[in-house]
Amino acid sequence: MNAKASTAKQRYEALIQLLQTAAKIWNAPRLFFERWNLSPSQFNVLNLLHSQRSGLSQAELSRQLIMNRSNVTGLIDRLERRRLVARRDVATDRRAYRVILTPSGRRLLKRILPAYHQGAGRVWDGFSAKAVREAVATLHRVSRNAQRAASESQIQAKAGMNTVPRGGKQGRHSK
């Protein structure tokens, strides 16, 4: 195997490992939050609202959670039924509301956060502070590269480049 193929294989293996790690990190909180009858996404809403005393709009929650607004609506509905959050009208805009954390939501979060931070910290057991900083910097670079690659793929797809139609022949701009 030549050096270029070896590098490509290593990068592919690194990507697979990153995806497998992300899946494990994504699934672990589901088990953790079961004892409070919360999903990780519901916890994320509560946690975001915890630092925003004046609340957040649904659009702001959607952006910060990287989630579709209709999905955020369902999360808010479920949390509101449990009286953990409340919707408050915005005085300057009758069509808008802000979602706030209720006293019950604050109390629940106060019980959850110490155990959550302890569990989250265990992910980095055996790593020095420097290694964690380096990992964060590397992951930021990987994230930027992934975003750039996705954008380039979208542009190519819109231009009809490098596509393989159903008939199996290469697109007009491919080599």
pLDDT mean by block of 10 residues, the chain; 175 residues: 86 94 88 93 95 91 91 95 94 84 97 92 93 95 91 81 54 46
Which neighbouring-strand residues pair with 98? Answer: 88
Question: pTM for this one?
Answer: 0.68
Residue 2 is predicted with a pLDDT of 85
Residue 166 is predicted with a pLDDT of 52
Ranges of H-type helices in the chain: 3-33, 40-50, 58-65, 69-81, 103-122, 129-159
Judge contact between 84 and 102, C-beta under 8 A: yes
Could you tell me the residue ranges of all domains in the chain?
A: 30-123, 128-161
CATH code 1.10.10.10 for 30-123: yes
